[in-house]
Amino acid sequence: MTKIDLEAVTAALDTLPKKYPGPGGVAGVMQDGKVIAARAWGYANLDTAQPMTAGTRLPICSISKQFTCQVLLATVGDPARLDAKVGSFLPAFTGVLPTTRQLCDNQSGLRDYWALTVLQGAFAEQPFRREDALPLIARMKTGHFPPGSQYSYCNCNFRIVSEMIEAETGATLDALYRKHVWEPAGMKTAVLTADTRHPEDGVVGYEGSDGTGFFPAENAIFWIGDAGISASLSDMLAYEGWIDATRNDENSLYRRASVPPTFKDGIPAAYGFGIDRETIAGLDCTGHGGALRGFRAHRKNARAARLSVVVMFNHEADAHGAVQYLIEAAMGHKPGVEVPIPDGWDGQWIGPNGLLTRLESGRNHADLHHSGGADRLVLAADGTLAAPGVVLARGPQGVTMARADDNTHATLTPLAVLDSADGAAIAGNYHSDELGAELEIVARGGGVYARFTGLLGAGRMERMAPAGPDVWTVATRRSMDAPAPGDWTLVVTRDGKGQVGGLTLGCWLARGVVYRRA
């Protein structure tokens, strides 16, 4: 039996309200199928002083994906049985269609539909109905990459899977969750709350920070399959107990869903059936996180150590960081000594898929901006900069970036830094055949702004800033999904005479969207 430092776990739990300040939260730690420590602090609603408790149901958001995949295994069995149905959701797609398993493993290559809502003109707070999703997905004509070759997080993968499950079984997803997972696991109060306008138990999610203050988050999206489940800490700990109780049963749903996946080329993948894999404090862990504006959640299970941790906040603190903090406390893990980053690393490049890639060094670490969030790199013994799943190296050909989790390796193209550029040269109207949507760029008094118009309306004016020659960023700080796409990379394309003919726009979740000048 793995020895757990219970005193350290208790002390770490006591520090969570200060370490991750906000309105309220819950956290629990289990070993050998039993709860060894748990906390609930703060308030589910600050205005009414409603306490946060272990029984308060919170949105678990994308943690729902693994429940959807377990229902798929329980009802359909082999995901390949549904492969012929995928094409009906992508009638305009021109490439090789992904398989159902590739949808479940985030290897489809499809662009994330929550990121695409921005390009289709959506406001963050406007309603997104169940019937809005499939028409948006149906417009997709191309993907990021050939299915099975790489990893890219994509919520609509699971929306398609959930629609196929319901059509195949004739049952609703919430009834299937209850029959195959919630009841067997003893999750007595878990429910499907597909409409985010009405969280369970009167709980309120809060945006903001300890510096700005906290204010109620406004959500109005309908999601199912990719997210939607609400559960209490008691429910989630019951789920962890079920996982532990069935850990040695190769036919159990979680054991089947957590079998390590591979890419099409046979290389091991870190994500499959809605479950990710990472090493924390020397333990191989499986789990997932979840995010909605105003809420954050994360869970991890280390099967060999029979250790599970769950953290949920009704604010936007780092739930993954909190889970890691508790696992490290349980294992008595002490972080390694970070050494200073040598000079000469900082810079910016155009990375894989045309995305702006920036490195900013601190004293003992460097922040790499490329995907949805910054990767914190430290100096490795071989002179590279590394983080879990990411390695940055310098060689004769320049800087290379390997992202094992994405199954990519590329030499980065240096990009000179520009602090100012003539926005009037790119101002005008653009059309995307891929999306069937429009983009207007406006230059006003030195400022440059973009507005997206499409299936969901005409969006806000978003700030643009020059990054390098013919490269701009478009800032999206709030969107329907959370976290927002952040900075999009906009690359201008010119004809043989140097005239602007179009542009390519992308973020980590939705890359390579081509626009032509109208």
User: What tens digit of pLDDT does each residue of 259-311 get?
Assistant: 999 999 999 999 999 999 999 999 999 999 999 999 999 999 999 999 999 99
Among residues of the chain, what percentage have pLDDT more than 70?
Answer: 100
Residue 322: both structure tokens together: 């909190």
Q: Judge whether residue 388 has pLDDT over 70.
A: yes
- Per-residue pLDDT band for 2 (boundaries 50, 70, 90) equals confident
DSSP of 384-436, one letter per residue? -EEETTEEEEEETTEEEEEETTTTEEEEPEE----S---GGGT-EEEEETTTT
Residues 54, 29: Cα–Cα separation, whole Å: 13
Average pLDDT over residues 468-493: 94
Query: What is the signed CA dihedral for 247, 252, 255, 258, rounded to 10 degrees?
Result: -150
- Residue with the bigger pLDDT between 482 and 177: it is 177
Res 361: pLDDT:
87
The catalytic position among 3, 19, 34, 62 is 62
CATH of 347-414, one of 2.40.128, 2.60.120, 2.60.40, 3.30.1340: 2.40.128
- Other CB atoms within a 10 A radius of the CB of residue 254 amount to 24
Domain range annotation of the chain: 6-76+171-331, 347-414, 423-517
Which among 433, 516, 438, 425 is positioned nearest to 472, based on CA atoms? Answer: 425
Indicate whether 156 pLDDT > 90: yes
Q: Which of 16-20, 231-235, 394-398 has the lowest mean pLDDT?
A: 394-398
Classify 6-76+171-331 by CATH class.
alpha beta
Across 136-162, average pLDDT: 97
Mean predicted confidence (pLDDT) in 151-155: 97
Q: Read off the DSSP letter of residue 155.
A: H
Provide Rg for the chain, Cα atoms: 23
- Model confidence at 54: pLDDT above 70: yes
Helix (H), strand (E), coil (C) string for 219-230: CCEECCCCCCEE
Of 357, 454, 443, the residue nearest 406 (C-alpha): 357
Q: Do the two domains 6-76+171-331 and 423-517 of this chain adopt the same fold?
A: no
Supply the pLDDT for residue 60: 98
Q: Residues 303-338: pLDDT tens digits? A: 999 999 999 999 999 999 999 999 999 999 887 777
Nearest alpha-carbon partner for 156 in 113, 95, 193: 113
SS3 call for 450: strand
Distance CA 27, CA 33 (A): 16
Structure tokens at 484: 């927002």
Mean pLDDT to the nearest integer, 186-194: 98
In this predicted structure, the answer to whether residue 418 has a pLDDT above a threshold of 80 is: yes
- Look up 62 and say whether it is catalytic: yes
pTM above threshold 0.85: yes
Nearest to 223 by CA among 190, 191, 195: 195
How many whole angstroms separate alpha carbon 450 and alpha carbon 442? Answer: 6
End-to-end CA distance of the chain: 66
- Look at the domain 423-517 and name its fold: Lipocalin (2.40.128)
Question: Out of 65, 108, 234, 258, which one is annotated catalytic?
Answer: 65
Catalytic-residue membership of 65? yes
pLDDT above 90 covers a percentage of the chain that reads 91
Residue 1 is predicted with a pLDDT of: 67
Sign, Cα dihedral of 438, 126, 486, 262: negative
On the question of pLDDT at 371 being above 90, the answer is no
